[in-house]
Each structure stands twice: as C-alpha cells, then as structure tokens.
Amino acid sequence: MPTIAVRPNLGDYDNSDEQTTRPRRSLALRMKVAVRRDALLRDLAAGAPAGRSPELALRASKLVTDRHRHQLANTLRRTIREAYQPATTRANISIIDRRAVIDAEVAIDALIARLTSERPVAARGMAIVELMISNAVESPLYGDAKPGTLRRQVAAATSALELEPEPGELPLAA
C-alpha cells in the first residue's frame, strides 16, 4: 500500500500565506478523521483503498504505526492472560469469551507475532484486528459465537495484515 507511505494530496495551498493555511487544513483533516474514526475504520476493514480520500489515508497511516501495532499486541496478550486467570473482583470483571480465547490461543499468538514482527502491515488487516478488539457487540472475542469463530477471524485478520503486491510486482517471500 504505497499510498499510506506517501503523504496524501491535501489540496493546493496559497504560498503567500502558507504558515496559516497549511496548519488550518491539517487541523481540519484531523478533526474530520476524529469525528469519522469508527466509520473510517469499518471502511478500511471492508477493503476500501487508503488512497481513496485524505481521511482514509490519515486513518490508515495511524493504524499501521509501530506504536499501534504494539498496543494491539499487548491487548491480545492481556486477553490471553485474562482467559486463564479471570479477575476475581467486581471492578475487574472480564467480559471476554474465555473458552473462545483459549480455543484460539495458537492463532492469537501467531497474530501477536505478526504484529510485533519487523515486516510492514496492511491497514486493512490492522482495521480488522482493531474492530475485533474494540467492537464488543459484534466480535466473537466477547460474544457468544459458534465454536471456532474467533479462531477463524483471528487467522483471517493475520492473513489480511500481509501487503498486497502492486500490479506487475512480484510478491515478497515470507
């Protein structure tokens, strides 16, 4: 996804007043992304190209940062820990589906390894992982889903982290 690495075209700027125009547009873009954060995340998870709009490009660029990758990996590590050692106090009640997490542990470990690897990741895969962790209503991580659903979703998310080769480009060996 080279469109993520390249700063999106945010429009033409009047060079005579660049000091005030550029930050204002940048702030406006960041505000649009903040307001539409969840919708942009769902669009990226569904496969919308990041280069389709400056908002998608900015949201995608935030998803693929090393910091965000490590945050998601740490969340997944805590999830596995909680599945084996649930909190005993009311203040720390675990809402995860412990059986599903234990069943998917190998797949979750593979996802953690991929998130913490040096290889770049696709924004679509990161969006899928983010939704899986943050959407308590629809995610099999929290809900009462059929056995194996979480394992399959984690495997699909791990696969979606792989970058698609550009047209005419040979795929990289894993």
In sequence order, which ranges of the chain are alpha helices (DSSP H)?
Answer: 2-5, 18-35, 37-45, 54-63, 66-84, 98-103, 105-115, 123-134, 149-160
- pLDDT in the model for residue 173: 53
Q: pLDDT at position 164, please?
A: 77
Q: What is the pLDDT of residue 81?
A: 94
Q: Tell me the C-alpha distance between 174 and 35, whole Å.
A: 37
What is the rounded distance in angstroms from the CA atom of residue 106 to the CA atom of residue 114?
A: 12
State the pLDDT at residue 112. 97
Residues 26 and 103 in one domain: no
Which residues constitute the domain of residue 56? Answer: 19-63
Same domain, 99 and 87: yes
The residue whose two tokens read 């792989």 is 162
Residue 132: how many other CB atoms lie within 10 Å: 22
Question: Do 50 and 131 share a structural domain?
Answer: no
Rounded-to-integer distance, Cα 130 and Cα 147, Å: 21
Using CA atoms, how far residue 22 sits from 15, 64, 107, in Å, is 9, 24, 44
Retrieve residue 113's tokens: 């390894």
Angstrom CA distances, 42 to 34, 78, 129, 130, 158, stand at: 14, 24, 11, 10, 17
| Whole-number percent of the chain with pLDDT over 70 | 76
Low-confidence ranges of the chain (pLDDT < 70): 1-25, 89-94, 165-174
Domain contains 80:
yes
| Residue 2 in domain | no
* Count of structural domains, the chain: 2
pLDDT of residue 26: 87
Q: Which of 158, 45, 151 is nearest to 100 (CA)?
A: 151
Write down the pLDDT at residue 166.
55
